[in-house]
Amino acid sequence: MSARTARAPAKINLTLHVLGRRADGYHELESLVAFAGACDHLRFSPDAGLSLQVDGPTAGAAGAGHENLVLRAARNLQERVAGLRVGAFRLTKYLPVAAGVGGGSSDAAAALRLLAAENGIGLDDPRVLEAACATGADVPVCLDPHARMMTGAGETLGDSLGFAPVPAVLVNPRVAVETRAVFAKLGLTAGQSCGFGKHPQIEGGMAHDALIAALKKGRNDLEDPAGVIAREVMDVLAVLAAARGVTIARMSGSGATCFALFAEPRQAARAAGTIRRGHPGWWVRPTLLR
């Protein structure tokens, strides 16, 4: 059989509200998630055994060992589907690692899509979703990478929202930020709730201006704790906020990647060029969020 390929797009949290911490220790979230044109690439070739090779600009930080999420997702699906046909994966990493863009989760979801296609299994098969949930909290939302609301610890997903692509610039200062440490810095105890304010109403097919107006009422509750851990987050946000034509500058996930939104792609491209020249050590990508 021939090889199959899949994109693993960056997951961007346009909002991330922390509602509290559950009794089981997980944080209760409310987040509008979108996906970028910036992505990793995953290739799958049927084989008798399961294997993974990792290359690409950010491969060194990703790891190709037993605990890579691509292999973990494949093993989780193997446990649930008798006789699952597996094979060799080749992951080409372009996205920064430990960066708040769900790179590993998106890679894992891409692996599940490829295995499902190889085995004639629908993505709505409960076994695929169970494998995604077992692999990581962000993997389920990456299975069908379109903008949608994500709630709970990431396991409850809304319908695809279908708004028009939003021009954006993604910036990472090449500083890894551990998600666990950021949540710990938030300082919530099990059972404790937050009173930071309700999430804005997001509707399917919103026009660009209406979407931006709603997003301005949202926030990322992890920005401050991430900024304490990595001062570079605040530096990136300041640079993005100063870009010409920017409508919103915010951190994604637990950082350190931040994004800026624009009305037109040419504004995003111009801002990305300016930021690259001023900060050649940063990872900078103009993109469209969907």
Closest C-alpha among 95, 51, 113, 149 to residue 285: 95
Which structure tokens are listed for 63? 């790891």
Residues 6+ apart with CB under 8 A from 115: 44, 74, 77, 84, 85, 86, 121
Residues 6+ apart with CB under 8 A from 35: 9, 10, 11, 12, 106, 142, 145, 146, 147, 289, 290
Between CA 86 and CA 83 the distance in angstroms is: 9
11 is an active site residue = yes
Query: How many other C-beta atoms lie within 10 A of the C-beta of residue 241?
Result: 13
Which residue carries 């851990």 as its tokens? 229
DSSP state of 149: E
24 is an active site residue = no
Q: Which of 40, 93, 107, 138 is catalytic?
A: 138
Q: Which of 11, 40, 107, 235 is catalytic?
A: 11
Q: Strand, coil or helix: what is 248?
A: strand
Which residue carries 């996930």 as its tokens? 253
For the annotated catalytic residues, the residue numbers are 11, 138
